Amino acid sequence: MAEDMNNVEVSNFQVGDMLKGQVTKVEEKQVLVNVEGSKLDGIIPISELSSLHVEKASDVVTEGDELELEVIKVEEDALILSKRKVDAEKSWDTLQDKFTNQEVFEAEVNDVVKGGLVVDLGVRGFVPASLVETYFVEDFSDYKGKKLTFKIVELDREKNRLILSHRAVVEEEQEKQKQDILNSLQEGQVIEGTVQRITDFGAFVDIGGIDGLVHISQLAHEHVEKPSDVVEEGQKVNVMVLSVDRDNERISLSIKETLPGPWTDIAEKAPKGSVLEGVVKRLVPFGAFVEVLPGVEGLVHISQISHKHIGTPHEVLSEGQEVKVKVLDSNEQEQRLSLSLKELEEREQQVSANYELPEESTGFQLGEVIGDKLKNLKK
């Protein structure tokens, strides 16, 4: 008789009906519920508990839980119910709003699968590997249980398809940060950056989410053959903002302008009377410019080139020639350095003269030789 009553009650329900039930027993692969307002038992198969793959029913529900359920099958004495379908129906409306408004929301990564991440939003959301970060990730195992921000990039209710992207959120934040930096930069401002990339014509420096170019001519005070000679990727550097083109998002930077000038403390670097080694850089009618320190050229006036009379510096010097010079005078403010070759030539001649004196004793040697010959003749 009770079974007949059950049959009658079961026949009152149809597939698609919504009802409430209380969990009475949690088995490994299914859950038993008591249907509210009746003495009927309902069964929720483990596959209908969640949009995600579930190993044990107890991972999702416990005894006594009140659940909203949908009838998916009517059997003779029981109802087959789904929690997953009710959750999904509720979620689709919310998700559609998020998609329409391009809303950013936070959710936990429930699983890591081949090709990406899985997120439970009442509907199974999938994050393809290419949409997780802005950079390549080799191993996603650390992402399980991690909370990330997402945007919905694809939603198809009929196909039960929901694609999420964390990368889109990061890129949006980076773009906003870039615009904020562009708007805040001022010419002459000095900031810290990191060398990101080196090219033949200079180095790109990250100044907080946006790159600026340090042209090769702005890397150092001295002439630079290759940017890699003076900077390396990952290096922290101070840069001065030379110009900002906000429309084209181009920033010109200088490392050179943040460094002490080559003429700073020149009186200490090249004291009066000191002897320095240098390279002849330019020859002009009135003398020669010799580079004695990186970025520091001093003038050897034509009158200080040689003790001999010369018509032009070209007679005794050539560009690229290495020479020793004596510092006659220096002026940091006017960036002027007076040098002399002649004064060293004078000293060298004295040293040579002193060195050659013993050789005059060859006169005695000659006398000794003549004396020997005379002795031989007498014999």
Residues 320, 278: contact at Cβ < 8 Å? no
What is the token pair recorded at 232? 């390396």
Question: Does 4 have pLDDT greater than 70?
Answer: no
2-82 against 186-258: fold identical: yes
User: Would the pTM of this model clear 0.75, i.e. be above it?
Assistant: no
Q: What is the CATH number of domain 88-171?
A: 2.40.50.140
What percentage of the chain has pLDDT greater than the value 70? 89
- Distance (Å, rounded) from C-alpha 290 to C-alpha 323? 8
Confidence band, pLDDT 50/70/90 cuts, at residue 83? very high
Report the chain's terminal Cα–Cα distance, integer Å.
167
- Distance (Å, rounded) from C-alpha 319 to C-alpha 313? 10
What does the pLDDT read at residue 354?
52
Sheet holding 116-120, edge to edge: 105-108, 147-156, 161-165, 124-128, 116-120, 111-113
In the chain, where does DSSP find H-type helix? 2-11, 84-100, 167-184, 266-269, 342-356, 362-378
Tally the C-alpha atoms within 13 A of residue 230's C-alpha that lie toward its C-beta.
24
Question: Does 350 have pLDDT greater than 60?
Answer: no
Q: Which CATH number fits domain 266-353: 3.40.640.10, 2.40.50.140, 1.25.10.10, 3.40.50.1260?
A: 2.40.50.140
Lowest-confidence range among 25-29, 147-151, 232-236? 25-29
- Distance (Å, rounded) from C-alpha 379 to C-alpha 375? 6
* CATH superfamily membership of 2-82: Nucleic acid-binding proteins (2.40.50.140)
In 109-254, where does DSSP find H-type helix? 167-184
**Each residue's pLDDT tens digit, 196-251:** 999 999 999 999 889 999 999 999 988 889 999 999 999 999 999 999 998 888 99
Residues 6+ apart with CB under 8 A from 41: 24, 32, 33, 34, 35, 78, 79
Average pLDDT over the chain, rounded to an integer? 87
